[in-house]
Structure formats: structure tokens, C-alpha cells
């Protein structure tokens, strides 16, 4: 099985992403579109892994102690032949990625060390002349999911293996006299 750590969009954000994908579908229906339930932001790709790496990845996630936040999805574009929604490069997102990879290093979890380009893939094999619409959406980053990816009967199947909730910070309101 292949493993990766991801953030999945909430319902409203998925609706926006799906509308963008639909705009691409109208121009180029032959593209390979990512199903709604498989749209995600990959925070770290681990690759082929056995039980020891799975356990180490869970331990690495348990070391994450950061607050939840909302990242901004602010543009669409291409990565290779894929149409993607890009996330704005923000300090909180960079901090989460660094904290995650540091904890993976500490726990001995191998991962793809390419430069982190935060994005959500919408479609693959997209012709270069397809016009991608504008996007403005928030992505709630309140949990990290450890996902396995396997091919079953010729189809890719994702399964959640583990989840790490990020801290929710609450403000206490003082009672007025």
C-alpha cells in the first residue's frame, strides 16, 4: 500500500472545487477528473509502506501540536498536465508542513522531499489551452489524515488509516457587569 498525509476539504469548499472542475469538464470532457471524495491537499507523500512505517507515521502525527487554521485557495493553474487549485503560501501552512516533516524525520518515516507546492488536483491529462476559472475559497485545516492508496479491480481506493486533530483555540468571553 502507498501512504500519504492529507487534509480533506469540507463540504462547502468541495462544492467550490467541484464547480471549478465542472468548468474544465465543459471545455475538455476527455480529461481524467478527480472524484469529489478523493480531492485533498497532500501534506506529505510517504509512498510504499508496510506496518512498521504505518505505525511510525501514526507516531509522527501524534507529535503535531499546532492550532487549526483556515488556508486560502486563491488560484487555479497547471502542474504538469494536471489542473489544480493552488493554496496561498502562508506562514501557518509552511509551519505545519515543517512541523510535520520534522516529526516524520524524528520517527523515521520516509517521505517525498520535493519542494512543497500546496495544491488540490482537480483533473489530469488537461490540454494546455483549457481556461481555468478563478477561485476564492477557504480550506479548514483542522485535522491531518493518514491515507492508504491501493488499486482494487483497476480502481484507486483511498482508506483513512489514522487521524490527528489539530488544536482548536477558544476565546473565553467575560461576562459584562
State the Cα–Cα distance between residues 105 and 168, nearest whole angstrom: 25
Structural Rg of the chain based on CA atoms: 17
Q: What are phi and psi of 66, to 5 degrees?
A: -125, 155
What's the whole-number mean pLDDT along residues 93-119? Answer: 97
Q: What percent of the chain has pLDDT over 70?
A: 95
Asked if 20 contacts 71 with a C-beta cutoff of 8 angstroms, the reply is no
Whole-prediction pTM value? 0.92
C-alpha 17 chain-centroid distance? 13
Three cell numbers, residue 30: 476527455
pLDDT tens readout for residues 46-87: 999 999 999 999 999 999 999 999 999 999 999 999 999 999
* Strand ranges inside the chain, DSSP E: 2-7, 32-33, 41-48, 69-79, 82-87, 119-124, 137-141, 143-152, 155-165
- Beta-carbon neighbour count of residue 6 at 10 Å? 20
pLDDT at 172: 60
- Domains for the chain: give ranges and CATH numbers: 2-165 (3.90.1140.10)
Amino acid at each position: 500500500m502507498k501512504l500519504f498525509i492529507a487534509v480533506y476539504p469540507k463540504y462547502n469548499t468541495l462544492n467550490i472545487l467541484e464547480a471549478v472542475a465542472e468548468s474544465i469538464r465543459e471545455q475538455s470532457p476527455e480529461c481524467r477528473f478527480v472524484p469529489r471524495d478523493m480531492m485533498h491537499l497532500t501534506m506529505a507523500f510517504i509512498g510504499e509502506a508496510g506496518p512498521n512505517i504505518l505505525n511510525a507515521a501514526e507516531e509522527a502525527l501524534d507529535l503535531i501540536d499546532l492550532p487549526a487554521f483556515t488556508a486560502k485557495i486563491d488560484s487555479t493553474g497547471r502542474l504538469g498536465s494536471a489542473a489544480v487549485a493552488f493554496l496561498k503560501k502562508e506562514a501557518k501552512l509552511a509551519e505545519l508542513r515543517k512541523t510535520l516533516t520534522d516529526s516524520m524525520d524524528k520517527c523515521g518515516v520516509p517521505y517525498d522531499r520535493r519542494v512543497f507546492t500546496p495544491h488540490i488536483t482537480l483533473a489530469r491529462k488537461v490540454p494546455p489551452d483549457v481556461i481555468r476559472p478563478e477561485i476564492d475559497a477557504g480550506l479548514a485545516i483542522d485535522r491531518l489524515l493518514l491515507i492508504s492508496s491501493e488499486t482494487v479491480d483497476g480502481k484507486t481506493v483511498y482508506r483513512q488509516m489514522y487521524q490527528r486533530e489539530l488544536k482548536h483555540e477558544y476565546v473565553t468571553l467575560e461576562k459584562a457587569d
